[in-house]
Structure 1
Amino acid sequence: MIAKELINHMIPPLKAGDNAHKAILWMEELRCNQLPVVKDETFLGLITEDMILEANDIENEISSFDLLGVRCFVYDNSHFYEVIKLAADNDVQMVGVLDEQNKYMGVITVQDTITSFAQSAAVQMQGGILVLSISQIDYSMSEISRLIEENNVKILSSSVKVDELDPSKIKLTLKLNRLDLTHTVATLERFGYKIIARFQETKVQDDEKEKLDMLLRYLDI
């Protein structure tokens, strides 16, 4: 899924000439604490509720604030993984979307992106999750895929993250299309791969959004 398909058209942009009071009213109505700011179709960044409260003057024009996330935008054909990473790197709740002419199209919220992630095939399909610890010099996705597929198991998705405790190693997280991973684990371990976590996963429910959010932070994507 790409960025332009995730734009939340219910969140209007504020103009640089609007005042902080208007921003607060919109935030209350939309139940959010950040809003995009534009000027002549140019994305200027995000204004937050905390900024306004700290200034303690609701008559201030938004142009007078030091906006957050001035570079926190993606282009309309960007993959939604890029949206998640950009939001995490900038600690924001929404990301601007621009067209090829750098004109503002709208914003994507992190919540909307997580929902789309939860609805993707890799998440919706039942299966198991394995987390492997591997030395970076020994990492070969093609070799790991071969060993897994020898057990008639398919990889639905994968993610790689450097181990915080040992930068020479990576954590490889694999979503597989089988719940019973006993034979797969045995095969991987026989070839020297270290399994540090395994989970059985059924269809994701709406009330598990927090778990998905925690997973995304863990994967750092």
Structure 2
Amino acid sequence: MLAIELAANTIPPVTTTDSIQLAIDRMAEFKVRHLPVVNDQLFIGLLAEADITDPDHSLPISSLQQLHVNTFVYEDKHVYDAVRMFYEHNLTIVPVLGPNKTYDGVINQYAMNAYFGEITAIAQPGGIIVLEVSNRENSMSQMAQIVESDNAQILSSYARNFPDSTRMEVTLKLNKADISSINAAFLRYGYDVKATFNHNDDDDDSMNRYESFMNYLNM
């Protein structure tokens, strides 16, 4: 998925001639700590709440000492580049730009969380298996073969590296609620199964919790 597919104009940008107070009010209205500064559809920079230090909020935004001019992603970049921006700069929005830094919109945290909810198959019932493997043992084809031999499929997977270690954690979301036999198969193949979670439609309220969380972020 490209960054432009998650971009929206739900948060109006400010201009360099707008007052600092207007920017503060808009941040409060949309519950963000950052705003894009745009003049005639050209991205000037990203304004951070923490950079507003002048006590005179009637001054224009152009009077501020710092705007983050390189904090954005281009529209044709993968959405993971936006994730990196969120993570590295602790952002609440990421501007998305077209050619010549024309402003397309922003990706907000709600859109990003909804995207991760989709790609991790959180809304679909099924079990979760957490494995700990060495880097050399991280063979997704073998893991898929073990799962598929039990008439199941991997809906999503992700890996987490441990600092200063050759081992990693792999989490598999499956389309089968009863994963006891799959768990046993991983153990037979010598995998270190760290945890299992059995979820189904009857006793799993993860989707309800997820939707409640999304509504909270969008308040």
Instruction: Give aligned-pair identity as a percent.
Output: 33
1:125-178 per-residue CA deviation (whole Å, 9 max, x = no partner) reads 1111111111112221111111111111101111112113x5211111111111
Residue range with higher mean Cα deviation, 178-187 or 59-68: 59-68
Residue range with higher mean Cα deviation, 20-29 or 130-139: 20-29
* Structure 1 counterpart of 2:174: 176
* Structure 1 counterpart of 2:196: 198
- The CA distance in 2 between the partners of 1:72 and 1:204, in whole Å, is 33
Q: In the TM superposition, what is the alpha-carbon distance from 1:84 to its structure 2 partner?
A: 2.6
Q: In the TM superposition, what is the alpha-carbon distance from 1:204 to its structure 2 partner?
A: 1.3
TM-score, structure 2 normalization: 0.82
200 and 84 in structure 1: CA distance in 2 versus 1, 3 angstrom threshold: farther
78 and 123 in structure 1: CA distance in 2 versus 1, 3 angstrom threshold: farther
Q: Which runs of 5+ in 2 are unaligned?
A: none
Q: In the TM superposition, what is the alpha-carbon distance from 1:13 to its structure 2 partner?
A: 1.1
Q: In the TM superposition, what is the alpha-carbon distance from 1:120 to its structure 2 partner?
A: 5.2
Q: Give runs of ≥4 in structure 1 deviating > 3 Å.
A: 39-42, 77-82
- Residues 3 and 79, structure 1, Cα contact 8 Å, conserved in 2: yes
Q: CA RMSD in A?
A: 2.4
* Structure 1 counterpart of 2:108: 109
100 and 130 in structure 1: CA distance in 2 versus 1, 3 angstrom threshold: farther
1:156 equivalent to 2:155? Answer: yes
Q: Which runs of 5+ in 1 are unaligned?
A: 211-221
- Number of residues of Structure 1 aligned to a counterpart in Structure 2: 207
Q: In the TM superposition, what is the alpha-carbon distance from 1:35 to its structure 2 partner?
A: 1.1
Q: 1:1-221 residue pairs with structure 2 within 5 A?
A: 1-52=1-52, 54-63=53-62, 64-68=64-68, 70-119=69-118, 122-164=121-163, 166-201=164-199, 202=204, 204-205=207-208, 206-209=211-214
37 and 115 in structure 1: CA distance in 2 versus 1, 3 angstrom threshold: same
- Residues 84 and 110, structure 1, Cα contact 8 Å, conserved in 2: no
- Residues 161 and 171, structure 1, Cα contact 8 Å, conserved in 2: yes
- The CA distance in 2 between the partners of 1:189 and 1:209, in whole Å, is 36
- The CA distance in 2 between the partners of 1:180 and 1:171, in whole Å, is 22
TM-score, structure 1 normalization: 0.82
